[in-house]
Amino acid sequence: MVHALDWNQTRDPSVCGPTFYPLGHTGQGGNTRGCTCLGLRGTVRLGGEASRTSFFLKLSKRSLAIDQYKPQDATTNPSLILAAAQMPAYQELVEEAIAYGKKLGGPQEEQVQNAIDKLYVLFGAEILKKIPGRVSTEVDARLSFDKDAMVARALRLIELYKDAGISKDRILIKLSSTWEGIQAGKELEERHGVHCNMTLLFSFAQAVACAEAGVTLISPFVGRILDWHVANTDKKSYEPQEDPGEWPLEAPGQALAGCDFLTISPKLLGELLKDSSKLAPTLSAKAGEAPPRTWVPWGWGTGQASDLEKIHLDEKAFRWLHNEDQMAVEKLSDGIRKFAADAVKLERVLADRMFSAENGK
């Protein structure tokens, strides 16, 4: 399984999110901050084999950023698609999606949903023309507590990609890390060979359940963890070894050398690329490949070197352990609500364009 990291200056989960690095132990973790820009996220290698890092690409400058930094992978979310759908540069894609929805026919609600699914895939297909790796496409957050509906929507997206000539091997389906979402990921991976990226992950319980489900990626929004603790507890500052969710900012990027993917702003990425010094791995899933006192969110040590006990969680145990983490409960529900709100806004945008004349507007 893979674990996503995000170096963030503002942690609104509807705007910025994480990317990926290997999780070698159900107790291993990592953290960073991500950028505030609106855009697609990509990944590039930094410091040779020692570290790879990822960053947001502004939608309006996508081609320039991709050409400059040669990203490997990219991702989208409902908030980014909503913003992009209202940009002049992408109206051709929006019109194609609208035409597709109308062509399939049916009730207006169904036409809008088909148009949205098509729009997600059209954006994903455009991104894949520019990168060698995979793109993540998200399932509607309003389905976060309906396993069967999430599986059906995911397979629908995969079918649309197939119709566009794109193999499912280049797609990651993003699902909310609810119990139902994790089980949907398990079914998609095991029964359909569809790789999943579990997003909105804040708790140890979520990470363990994802590892046991065998999903491909997890995307913790670790940048929000520190914010929550600062806002909701009496403690307003943390030493690196105390930090509930963050790495120190003194050495952005270098402290995370060794992780596969890292969300980082283009500005910081540019600064790191100017540094020609060799980066030694700091994080590793394997014992002996990183310093023994490497800090990760759930303790000291590397993945396989960690002395944390491996645990098993069934649904009851998962719900209880996750419920015991107030921060995770609040941040997961908040993230789902915000992504859902943007999905509703996108529906309204498309519905107005598809049916305003018919409705006498």
Question: Could you read off the pLDDT of 138-184 as tens digits, one per residue?
Answer: 999 999 999 999 999 999 999 999 999 999 999 999 999 999 999 99
User: To the nearest whole percent, how much of the chain has pLDDT over 90?
Assistant: 47
Q: What separation in angstroms does the CA of 216 have from each of 23, 29, 155?
A: 10, 15, 16
Residues 108, 353 contacting (CB under 8 angstroms) = no
Q: What is the mean pLDDT of residues 112-137?
A: 93
Give the separation between CA 192 and CA 189, rounded to whole angstroms: 6
Q: Across the strands, what pairs with 52? A: 45
Q: What is the mean pLDDT of residues 239-253?
A: 46
What is the SS3 assignment for 17? coil
> Which pair of tokens denotes residue 162?
């197939």
Q: Across the strands, what pairs with 172? A: 136
User: Which among 118, 130, 174, 331 is annotated as catalytic?
Assistant: 174
Looking at residue 217, its pLDDT comes to 85
Looking at residue 276, its pLDDT comes to 74
Looking at residue 221, its pLDDT comes to 73
> Which pair of tokens denotes residue 1?
């399984």
> Which pair of tokens denotes residue 342?
């943007």
Domains, in order of start, for the chain: 2-355 (3.20.20.70)
Residues 6+ apart with CB under 8 A from 227: 11
Distance in Å from the first CA to the final CA of the chain: 50
What is the SS3 assignment for 239? coil
> Which pair of tokens denotes residue 217?
């990626």
Identify the weakest region by mean pLDDT among 119-128, 195-204, 229-238, 318-327: 229-238
Residues 161, 168 contacting (CB under 8 angstroms) = yes
* Reduced 3-state DSSP string for 183-223: HHHHHHHHHHCCCEEEEEECCHHHHHHHHHHCCCEEEECCH
Top-confidence residue, 348 or 16: 348
The predicted model scores a pTM of: 0.78
Query: Does position 298 have pLDDT exceeding 50, yes or no?
Result: no
174 in active site: yes
Exposure letters 278-313 (e unless 16+ CB within 10 A, then b): ebebbbbbeeebbeeebbbbbeebbbebbebeeeeb
What is the SS3 assignment for 96? helix
Residues 30, 6 contacting (CB under 8 angstroms) = no
Average pLDDT, the chain: 75
Of residues 41, 5, 20, the one with CA closest to residue 266: 41
Looking at residue 142, its pLDDT comes to 98
